[in-house]
């Protein structure tokens, strides 16, 4: 398994709109989406299309709103008291902020993995089977199949198949992060949100995560927040630059990193910001 | 150390790369001047000085290339910085080729001097040399200042040098047909003209790179027309 870097120093004309796999599940559309923490507006009129089965990297300086936007895609932000939103975010054409929507079901369709891995203090098997169990899967054989399938998709099966009953906390940091990805995959999501998933990992473990993202995009839509610009360049199909709560520029990654159109994007990528 | 210190360090290194490219370009332009003067004035000492000085340009090419590769590997530049460094590697190779053309002209001068030929007035050659040198200077200026408009203007001037080369070819052909004893000398005049025409081509390459750095657009080989 290898990753083809997106570093192509040519200014070819590429379509700005995402293509992905037309008709596949996991298409995200933000329409003039706004978000407030109390009186502070964190996002201003974000309009963005994210194609199904593609990797989109959200980049920008700290506090630019990229993580807020990421957490808005599975409504995780509303767990914080005093927040409110405007506009809408559509998942496969349906507004995820509509009143009657089942938020728990939404979070199964839109899985999330955080910067700091957070496995439950349970066995590897129980971590992965947790979601399906609370969703009513009881048959042992069915659970076994989900656990094995999810661990394989997270490229962890070969490393843990002989110790599924061991505590998840005995795994290395990189393995625990892949276990968290397997746990998200066990719910069979359409979208996977990754919030700096490799920022606390060593280069080898980071490479495994990046390879995994590259493989998983054949099956689901991935949105990743990263401060590592090289990582965004390596693994994403499209890159979106946020600054001061606004979407400044979005485009194909190879164009964004070689010939961005906006002066602010250029300044951020070349370290001439502020 | 402030958080942006690594970037400052990188920008200092980029400024140093620019300075060295400028130095190399000035050296290459000076060699073209000297070689054409050596040819026109039949100055053997100057011709030999050009041939000896070419080694310096070769060395500068190696050093600038190493510096650019090091910046790519260690700083992993993006956007305009990435375009600048990739282009710098190409331009240093172009400038080294300019030095080779100066040597070819100096060698033609040496041959003429050894044949004890009578110098012929060739205003076209002087005009070509002036234009090619100016194109080179402007192309480098466009590249270092990130001036896409100047880069495009340099590219447009190449046709004028091509036309002068064509004109000089016809003049020398007429000499050769009229008096076959002039063939040896005429071939050297043609060699000088061809080398100057190639210097203008290299300046055009640099002009195209200046547009790439400034605007992120590839204009060589008519790419811009095809994509529009």
- DSSP state string for A170-181: GS-HHHHHHHHH
Nearest CB neighbour to B81, from listed A7, A233, A270: A270
Structural domain boundaries, residue B141: 5-227
- Going edge to edge, which strands form the sheet with A40-50? A40-50, A28-37, A83-91, A94-95
Contact A106, A138 (CB under 8 A): no
Buried b (16+ CB within 10 A) or exposed e, A36-53: beeeeebbbebebbbbbb
Strand A246-252 with A238-243, pairing? antiparallel
Contact A35, A67 (CB under 8 A): no
A83 inside domain: yes
Domain count, chain A: 1
> Are the Cβ atoms of A271 and B4 closer than 8 angstroms?
yes
CA distance B167 to chain A (A): 37
A113 inside domain: yes
* Tens-digit pLDDT string for chain A (274 aa): 344 434 333 334 455 666 666 677 899 999 999 999 999 999 999 999 999 999 999 999 999 999 999 999 999 998 899 999 999 999 999 999 999 999 999 999 999 999 998 999 999 999 999 999 998 999 999 999 999 999 999 999 999 999 999 999 999 999 999 999 999 999 999 999 999 999 988 999 899 899 999 999 999 999 999 999 999 999 999 999 999 999 999 999 999 999 999 999 999 999 887 5
B224 in contact with A at a CB cutoff of 8 Å? no
A155 inside domain: no
Nearest CB neighbour to A9, from listed B4, B76, B82: B82
Cite the DSSP H helix spans in A161-221: 173-185, 203-216
Question: Rounded distance, CA A65 to CA B140, Å?
Answer: 41
Which residues, including other chains, have CB under 8 Å from residue A93's CB and lie 6 or more apart? A27, A29
B9 in contact with A at a CB cutoff of 8 Å? no
Domain count, chain B: 1
Strand A191-195 with A221-225, pairing? parallel
A56 inside domain: yes
Structural domain boundaries, residue A196: 28-118+189-269
Which site among B7, B10, B12, B79 would you substitute to test the A interface, given the most A Cβ atoms closer than 10 Å to its Cβ? B79
Nearest CB neighbour to A259, from listed B76, B77, B216: B216
Does ipTM top 0.90? Answer: no
pTM of the model: 0.81
| Closest C-alpha among A68, A19, A18 to residue A43 | A68
Rg of chain A, C-alpha, whole Å? 19
- For residue B14, the chain A residues in CB contact (below 8 A) are none
A154 inside domain: no
B214 in contact with A at a CB cutoff of 8 Å? no
DSSP B181: G
CATH number (domain holding residue B120): 1.20.58.220
CATH number (domain holding residue A242): 3.40.50.300
């Amino acid at each position: 398994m290898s990753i083809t870097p997106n570093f192509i120093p040519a200014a070819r004309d590429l379509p700005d709109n995402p293509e992905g796999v037309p008709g596949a599940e996991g298409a995200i559309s933000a329409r003039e989406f706004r978000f407030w923490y109390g009186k502070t507006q964190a996002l201003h009129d974000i309009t963005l299309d994210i194609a199904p089965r593609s990797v989109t990297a959200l980049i920008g300086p700290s506090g630019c709103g990229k993580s807020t936007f990421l957490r808005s895609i599975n409504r995780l932000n509303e767990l914080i008291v005093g927040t409110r939103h405007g506009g809408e975010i559509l998942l496969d054409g349906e507004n995820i902020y509509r009143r009657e929507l089942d938020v728990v079901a939404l979070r199964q369709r839109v899985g999330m993995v955080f910067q700091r891995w957070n496995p439950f203090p349970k066995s590897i098997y129980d971590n992965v089977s947790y979601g399906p169990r609370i969703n009513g899967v009881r048959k042992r054989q069915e659970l076994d199949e989900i656990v094995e399938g999810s661990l394989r998709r997270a490229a962890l099966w070969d490393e843990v198949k002989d110790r599924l009953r061991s505590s998840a906390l005995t795994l290395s940091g990189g393995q625990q992060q892949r276990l968290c990805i397997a746990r998200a995959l066990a719910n069979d999501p359409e979208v996977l949100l990754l919030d700096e998933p490799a920022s606390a990992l060593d280069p080898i473990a980071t490479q495994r995560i990046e390879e995994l993202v590259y493989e998983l995009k054949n099956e689901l839509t991935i949105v990743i927040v990263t401060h590592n610009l090289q990582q965004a360049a390596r693994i994403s199909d499209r890159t979106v630059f946020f600054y001061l709560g606004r979407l400044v520029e979005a485009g194909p990654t190879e164009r964004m990193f070689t010939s961005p159109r906006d002066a602010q994007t250029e300044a951020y990528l070349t370290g001439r910001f502020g | 150390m402030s958080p942006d210190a690594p970037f400052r360090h990188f920008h200092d290194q980029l400024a140093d790369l620019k300075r060295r490219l400028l130095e190399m370009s000035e050296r290459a332009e000076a060699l073209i001047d000297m070689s054409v003067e050596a040819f026109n004035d039949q100055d053997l000492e100057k011709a030999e000085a050009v041939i000896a000085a070419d080694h310096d340009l070769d060395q500068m090419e190696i050093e600038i290339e190493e510096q650019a590769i090091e910046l790519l590997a260690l700083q992993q530049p993006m956007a305009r910085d990435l375009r600048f460094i990739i282009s710098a590697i190409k331009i240093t190779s172009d400038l080294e080729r300019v030095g080779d053309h100066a040597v070819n002209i100096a060698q033609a001068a040496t041959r003429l001097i050894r044949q004890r030929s009578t110098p012929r007035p060739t205003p076209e050659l002087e005009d070509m040399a002036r234009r090619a040198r100016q194109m080179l200077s402007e192309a480098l200026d466009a590249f270092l200042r990130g001036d896409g408009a100047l880069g495009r203007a340099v590219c447009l001037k190449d046709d004028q040098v091509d036309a002068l080369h064509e004109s000089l070819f016809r003049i020398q052909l007429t000499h050769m047909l009229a008096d076959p004893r002039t063939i040896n000398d005429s071939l050297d005049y043609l060699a000088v003209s061809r080398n100057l025409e190639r210097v203008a081509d290299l300046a055009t390459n640099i002009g195209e790179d200046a547009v790439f750095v400034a605007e992120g657009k590839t204009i060589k080989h008519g790419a811009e027309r095809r994509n529009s």
